[in-house]
Amino acid sequence: MDETRPVPAEEALDTPRLIAWLCEQIDLGEGEVRLARFSGGHANLTYLLTIGEQEMVIRRPPLGPVAPGAHDLGREHRVLSVLHRAFPLAPRSLAYCDDASIIGAPFLVAERRHGIAITGDLPETVRDRPHIAAAVGAMLIDTLAALHRIDTTKLDLNSLGRPEGFLARQLEGWQRRWCAALDRPYPEAEALLTRLAAAMPTSPAPTLLHNDFKLDNILVDPADSRLPRAVLDWDMATRGDPLLDLGYLLTYWAEPSDPPEWIEAASMPTWREGFSNRAEATARYAAATGTDVAAIAWYQAFAAFKLAVIIQQIFIRYARGQTTDTRFAHFDRRVAALVAKAAAQAAHL
């Protein structure tokens, strides 16, 4: 995510107003003001603001309508303003603005972390080194386990979210988002949602959740992919069922024997030699946290559906002309593959 590009006209910010507001919040240095867009990410718009030698990250919601509860940068600020004390991989949030008149939407300002995001495939220098792949996979699980072991009472985050009835609300909420973003029927989805509701498991003790935990939301050391430098994108963070995070990560955890459309729809380069399989990754998490993972299949099916919703929300913004980013033009194919994947997984519940 460290690669930047010029800011498209449709995503431009009122830089003078932004700087004027920032001057009232934090100590800004002097020098040339430069604004660029980070190239990664499909939802929130993330910018690099440079003032002389000082760097900071600006995050705002995507263009177009935003689903209630989604892209909550106020919540992200609440979490990131304190989480770095217990979880050093969390960038510190420096300020939050809920006045949409400044840049057109609420936004937060955070410290910049340097590193590279692994998207699609491992860096070429390590693709044929299975021991590196094994270590990257272990790092992913160990980082998630460390997050879930945090004592939120020490960070004044114990009131975050509503863990009681969390799974039921999650299923209902993502179903509403799905219906609001549809542009065509998906018959498999109705049976899938019925099955998920009927087989809903009992949640383990609540923990802090990232809610979008996957490899490309981690910055790693450019010289050593095994070393994490930051975990990004905390706007959906809350307290609730930790297996939602694990199930979501496993949805991206492609194996060589998976159907090609599953790998294309949502994958990390875990299909490369050296990575553990999903069962081994699940066992590592269970050993690190002591969590009962017997019901993980439910969480994987739900996560595939949730990912289909997220991608459909991105695709519908493109279909409605609310973004012209051509990366999203064929996201409908990914949606169809993910709905089919979720339905296939739910059939075994």
Q: Give residue-wise pLDDT tens across range 325-349.
A: 888 998 999 999 999 999 999 988 8
Answer whether residue 107 shows pLDDT above 50. yes
Residue 36's contacts (CB-CB under 8 Å, 6 or more residues apart) are 4, 5, 6, 7, 47, 48, 50
Torsion, CA 243, CA 82, CA 111, CA 57, rounded to 10: 60
Average pLDDT (102-130) is: 93
The SS3 assignment for 151 reads: coil
User: How high is the pLDDT of residue 70?
Assistant: 57
CA separation, residue 349 to residues 195, 296, 301, 343 (Å): 8, 10, 9, 10
- pTM beyond cutoff 0.75: yes
From the CB of residue 194, how many other CB atoms can be counted at a distance below 10 Å?
11
In the CATH scheme, what is the code of domain 116-346? 3.90.1200.10
Average pLDDT (36-62) is: 88
Give residue-wise pLDDT tens across range 74-89. 999 999 999 999 999 9
User: How high is the pLDDT of residue 211?
Assistant: 94
Confidence of residue 232 (pLDDT cuts 50, 70, 90): very high
| 228 vs 264, higher pLDDT | 228
Answer whether residue 66 shows pLDDT above 80. no
User: How high is the pLDDT of residue 192?
Assistant: 96
Answer whether residue 64 shows pLDDT above 80. no
Answer whether residue 97 shows pLDDT above 70. yes
Residue type, 212: D
Confidence of residue 4 (pLDDT cuts 50, 70, 90): confident
Query: b/e map of 262-296 (b: 16 or more CB within 10 Å)?
Result: bbebbbbbbbbebbbebeebbebbbeebebebebb
* Closest by CA position to 236, among listed 43, 58, 85: 43
From the CB of residue 109, how many other CB atoms can be counted at a distance below 10 Å?
21
Average pLDDT (138-156) is: 97
Question: In terms of DSSP bridges, do strands 45-51 and 54-60 run parallel, antiparallel, or are they unpaired?
Answer: antiparallel
The residue ranges of every structural domain in the chain are 4-111, 116-346
**CATH 3.30.70.360 for domain 4-111:** no
Residue type, 204: P
* Residue 125 CB-density burial (10 A; 0-12 exposed, 13-18 middle, 19+ buried): exposed
Helices 331-346 + 187-198 axis angle, to 10:
40
Cβ(215)–Cβ(115) under 8 Å? no
Distance separating alpha carbons of residues 231 and 145, to the nearest angstrom: 13
Question: Across the chain, what does the average pLDDT equal?
Answer: 93
| 266 vs 290, higher pLDDT | 290
CA separation, residue 340 to residues 120, 133, 190, 330 (Å): 21, 28, 12, 17
Distance separating alpha carbons of residues 107 and 194, to the nearest angstrom: 37
